[in-house]
A and B are shown apart, each in its own frame.
Chain A
Amino acid sequence: MGHEAVRQPITEAHTPQTIATSAQPLLNVQGLSVRFDGAPKGVNVVDDVSFSVSKGKTLCIVGESGCGKSVTSLALMGLLPTPPARIVGGSAMFDGQDLLTLTERERADLRGDRMAMIFQEPMTSLNPAFTIGDQIAEGIVRHRRVSKAEAMERALDMLKKVRIPAPEKRLRAYPHEMSGGMRQRVMIAMALANDPQLLIADEPTTALDVTIQAQILTLIRRLQEETGTAMILITHDLGVVAEVADEVAVMYAGRVVESGPVEAIFEDPQHPYTIGLMGSVPSLGRRQGRLATIRGTVPPAELMPKGCRFTPRCPFADTRCANDPPPLAEIKPGHRARCWYAPLEIHRGAAS
C-alpha cells in the first residue's frame, strides 16, 4: 500500500493521525467460494475471491449485476441464507478470528457491533413501524450494557454526527417522514452507533440523486477519518470508486478479475473487462465519438465457460482462455489481473 502519499485529502476536516495504518490488515479474505444449491457442477456464484482491508482504508468492490459482489458481502456478514447458499471454501480473518467458522451466536454478537452494514435501499431496510430513535437504540442495547434512556442519548448523538437537522425532533420521526437522503443518513447512524471496526456499504448512494450522493459520500468519508473505520464499499459506479477508494477489486461473474491500488486501476487498467467498462462510461468532457462496448451479457450459470469467465464477451479471447482459467497474477507489486494476455499491448499489440 505505497500510495498513501498520492491520495489527496478530500474533506475540509482532515485528521492525519487516523490515516496511518497498521501493516496487518483488519480483514483478510482468502479464496472465498460460495455455491448455490442447484447450480451446475463447478460453477460457484462467488469463486476464489481474495482481498483485504486495513484500518481506516476503503476497499471498493466494483462490478455489474450478478457479479457476486453483494453475495460476497452477505457471506462476510453471515447473512447468506443457507440453504440455498453454501460457503464451500476460503477463510475470512477478521482481527484474528476466521468469520466463516464462527457459530451463529458469535456472529450475531459481532454483527452491528464490530462490523456493520449499510444497504442500498434505505426505505426497505428501515422498519416502518418504529421511530428512528427506537431503531438506532435497539442495536446499542443489544451490544452494550446500557439502559434504554442512555441508548436514546447515544442515538441522538449519532443523529448529530451524521448531520441531520433538528435531531431531537427526528428521533421521534418515522422513516416515511424522511427523504431518501435523510433515511440513508439514519442507516449510517445506525451502522456506526457501536463504533464498528469494519463497515460494509452495499451501493449506499445508488438510489439517491447526484447532489445527495455527493453529500452522503462526503459524510461517510468524514466519519471514516474521525473514527478510523475500515470500509468495503460495493458499487457499480466507477466515478464513486475514483472518489473514495484506496484499493479496488473488480469482479466479473463471481471472480475478482483485477485488483490493486485505485491509481493503478484507473491509470493502468489491465484486464479487458476493466478496460471495456471504462470505455462504456460516457466521458464528462467533450464527446469522443462512439462508446466502446462489451459484447453481449453475462452468460447464465449453465453456459459459464470452463476457463476465464469473460471469454464469450472478450475481444482478445482464444481457445486457451476458454479452457484454462487464468490465475490472478501480479503485474506490478500490489496490482493483479486475471488474464493470460496482460499486459495487452505486449501479447495482443501490433493488431495482427
Chain B
Amino acid sequence: MSVMPSSDIILEGVGLKKHFGSGGLLSSPTVVRAVDGVSLGVRRGETFAIVGESGCGKSTLGRLLLRLIEPSDGDVRYEGRSILKLNKSELRRLRRDLQIIFQDPFASLNPRMNVGDIIAEPIWLHDLASGREKRERVADLMRTVGLLPTHADRYPHEFSGGQRQRIGIARALAGDPKLIVGDEPVSALDVSIQAQIINLLEDLKDRFGLTLVIVAHDLAVIRHMSDRVAVMYLGEIVELSETDALFDNPLHPYTQALLAAIPIPSPANRQPKALLQGDVPSPAAPPSGCRFHTRCPHARTLCKEQHPALETAPDGRQVACHFWREIQGAGAGSISAPPPSAALAKRLALYRTWRERQDKPVATSP
C-alpha cells in the first residue's frame, strides 16, 4: 500500500478460457468451464486480489496467469509480451520472474529434501550462485522470512504450519521474482500465524518492490492487503474495482451478497441478514444468460436470456450486471464494521507498545 501503483501493466490476461475434461468413449462430453473469458491487467507494484467461492475458477485463473497450465483460449502477456509462445529456455527464464506460493504448506514442500536444499533449488536451477555464495544466499533468505539459518539442515516435517509457509515464501523469493501469485497463502493457518504471514508478505513486497496477486476467499484478508479486487463467479469476473470502493459500495448483487454473508466481529451489532439462497450451480452446466440469475434477488427475464458484458462504470470500476444502476439504490451491500470498543482500542494500543518492545532486545525468529 506504500507505493502508489502506477497504471502500467506488468501482467495481463486477455480473453482467458480454461475448459477441463471431455466425454469418455461412451459418455457424452461434460466440459467444465473453469475459467470462461476473463480479461484483466495487473499493475506494477500493486496487490491484486482474486476472490470468489470454491469452484469459481480463481485458482485456475492464478495458474493460467503463470502458465502453469495452458489456457484453452486467450493470451497471457508479461511485460507486454505473450508468454504462451515461449520456448523451454525462455520459459525457464520467465519462471524466475513469476513465482507462486501455495495454500497448503504441508503438501507443497518435498518431504525428502532439507530446508536448505528446498530454498537453494531455484538458485541452482537458474545458475545464480554456487558453493559458499549459494549457502550464504540461502541463510540470507531464511533470515528475511524469519527463520533461523541454523535450521537449514532440518526437514519440512520438523516445522509448524506457519514456518512451512515461510519456507515456501523463501523459495519463491530465491530467484529474485518480480511478481508472486499467492494461492490462498494464509487460509490454512491459525489466526495468530495468519497475521504474521500477512505482515511478512507486505514487508517483502515493499522491500523487493514486488507485485502480488492474491487468490483468496477471505474478504477481510483481501480488504486488508489488496489495492484492487476482482470478484469471480462461475468462471467469470463479475466485478473489478479498487478495494475501498468495492467494500464501501459494491455494485454487483453477488458482491453485495458475499459481503453481507461475512460475520461481523461485534456482538452488539447483530442484524438480520439477507441471505443468498441455494448453492453455486455446476460449472459444467452454467445457467443461461447471467450466470448469477438463479441466486440473484434482483433477477428479471432479461437476466435469464442475455449474458451481461463487463461494462465500465463512470469511476473506472467494471461490473457485469444488466441492472447495476438500479440495484445500487436498493441499499444492499456495504458492510459497516463498527470501530472497536474504547476498552479494546486502549488495550490493543497497550498490546502493540509492549509487543514492539518484545521484538527489540533480540532479533529472533518469531
Binding site for B on A (CB under 8 A): 6-12, 64-65, 165, 179-182, 209-215, 217-218, 236-243, 245, 262-263, 266-270, 272, 275-287, 290-297, 315-316, 344-345, 348-349, 351
Chain B positions within 8 Å of A286 at CB level? 244
Which of A8, A64, A217 is within 8 Å of B263, CB to CB?
A: A217
- Chain B 254-287 residues near chain A, CB threshold 8 A: 257-258, 260-268, 270-273, 275-280
Chain A positions within 8 Å of B351 at CB level? 272, 275-276, 279, 292, 315, 344
B228, chain A: closest CB distance, angstroms: 14
Determine whether the beta carbon of A278 is less than 8 Å from that of B346.
Answer: no
Determine whether the beta carbon of B195 is less than 8 Å from that of A275.
Answer: no
Say whether B23 faces chain A, with CB atoms less than 8 Å apart. no
Say whether B131 faces chain A, with CB atoms less than 8 Å apart. no
Determine whether the beta carbon of B192 is less than 8 Å from that of A239.
Answer: no
Chain B positions within 8 Å of A283 at CB level? 220, 223-224, 337
B1, chain A: closest CB distance, angstroms: 7
Chain B 224-236 per-residue mask, 1 if CB under 8 angstroms from chain A, else 0: 1100000000000
Determine whether the beta carbon of A282 is less than 8 Å from that of B270.
Answer: no
State A276–B355 Cα separation when bound (angstroms). Answer: 9
State A327–B220 Cα separation when bound (angstroms). Answer: 35
Say whether B87 faces chain A, with CB atoms less than 8 Å apart. no
Determine whether the beta carbon of A297 is less than 8 Å from that of B354.
Answer: no
Chain B positions within 8 Å of A237 at CB level? 263
State A280–B366 Cα separation when bound (angstroms). Answer: 15
State A285–B341 Cα separation when bound (angstroms). Answer: 14
Closest to A286 in B: B244
Say yes or no: A282-B224 contact (C-beta < 8 A), given A214-B275, A293-B355: yes
State A147–B277 Cα separation when bound (angstroms). Answer: 35
Chain B 189-231 per-residue mask, 1 if CB under 8 angstroms from chain A, else 0: 0111111101100100000000000000101110111000000
Chain B positions within 8 Å of A218 at CB level? 273, 275
Give the one of A214, A236, A275, A316 with max B CB within 10 A: A214
Determine whether the beta carbon of A65 is less than 8 Å from that of B190.
Answer: yes
Determine whether the beta carbon of B267 is less than 8 Å from that of A293.
Answer: no
Determine whether the beta carbon of B191 is less than 8 Å from that of A292.
Answer: no
State A297–B223 Cα separation when bound (angstroms). Answer: 25
Say whether B162 faces chain A, with CB atoms less than 8 Å apart. yes
Closest to A279 in B: B348
Determine whether the beta carbon of A290 is less than 8 Å from that of B339.
Answer: no
B254, chain A: closest CB distance, angstroms: 9
Give the one of A217, A240, A241, A266 with max B CB within 10 A: A266
State A211–B52 Cα separation when bound (angstroms). Answer: 10
Say whether B79 faces chain A, with CB atoms less than 8 Å apart. no
Determine whether the beta carbon of B271 is less than 8 Å from that of A275.
Answer: no
Say whether B160 faces chain A, with CB atoms less than 8 Å apart. yes
Determine whether the beta carbon of A262 is less than 8 Å from that of B267.
Answer: yes
Say yes or no: A351-B258 contact (C-beta < 8 A), given A281-B220, A291-B199: no
Determine whether the beta carbon of A280 is less than 8 Å from that of B244.
Answer: no
Determine whether the beta carbon of B270 is less than 8 Å from that of A243.
Answer: yes
Determine whether the beta carbon of A64 is less than 8 Å from that of B192.
Answer: yes
- Chain B 309-366 residues near chain A, CB threshold 8 A: 335-337, 339-341, 343-344, 346-348, 350-355, 357-359, 366
Secondary structure dominating the interface of B: helix
Query: What number of residue pairs across chains A and B have CB atoms under 8 A from each other?
Result: 197
Chain B positions within 8 Å of A213 at CB level? 261, 263
Determine whether the beta carbon of B346 is less than 8 Å from that of A345.
Answer: yes
A5, chain B: closest CB distance, angstroms: 12
B105, chain A: closest CB distance, angstroms: 13
Closest to A165 in B: B278
Give the one of A211, A241, A276 with max B CB within 10 A: A211
A179-B279, A213-B263, A281-B220 are known; give 18 further A-B pairs, CB within 8 A.
A10-B272, A181-B279, A209-B54, A209-B217, A212-B53, A239-B265, A242-B263, A242-B270, A263-B267, A272-B351, A282-B221, A284-B219, A284-B264, A290-B202, A292-B352, A297-B193, A345-B346, A345-B347
Which of B223, B267, B353, B354 is within 8 Å of A266, CB to CB?
A: B267
Say yes or no: A268-B341 contact (C-beta < 8 A), given A209-B217, A211-B53: yes
B260, chain A: closest CB distance, angstroms: 8
Closest to B356 in A: A315
Determine whether the beta carbon of A284 is less than 8 Å from that of B337.
Answer: yes
Chain B positions within 8 Å of A281 at CB level? 191, 195, 220, 265
Task: Please list 9 pairs of residues, one from A and one from B, whose beta carbons are closer than 8 Å in the complex, sorted by A's number.
Answer: A6-B268, A8-B271, A214-B275, A215-B276, A215-B277, A243-B267, A269-B343, A277-B191, A291-B224
- Chain B 43-57 residues near chain A, CB threshold 8 A: 53-54
Say yes or no: A349-B358 contact (C-beta < 8 A), given A10-B271, A209-B54, A277-B192: no
Say whether B247 faces chain A, with CB atoms less than 8 Å apart. yes
Give the 5 A-B CB pairs with smallest separation, nearest first. A239-B263, A282-B224, A280-B195, A315-B354, A284-B337
A143, chain B: closest CB distance, angstroms: 31
Determine whether the beta carbon of A210 is less than 8 Å from that of B264.
Answer: no
Say yes or no: A211-B1 contact (C-beta < 8 A), given A242-B265, A266-B341, A279-B351: no
Determine whether the beta carbon of A294 is less than 8 Å from that of B195.
Answer: yes
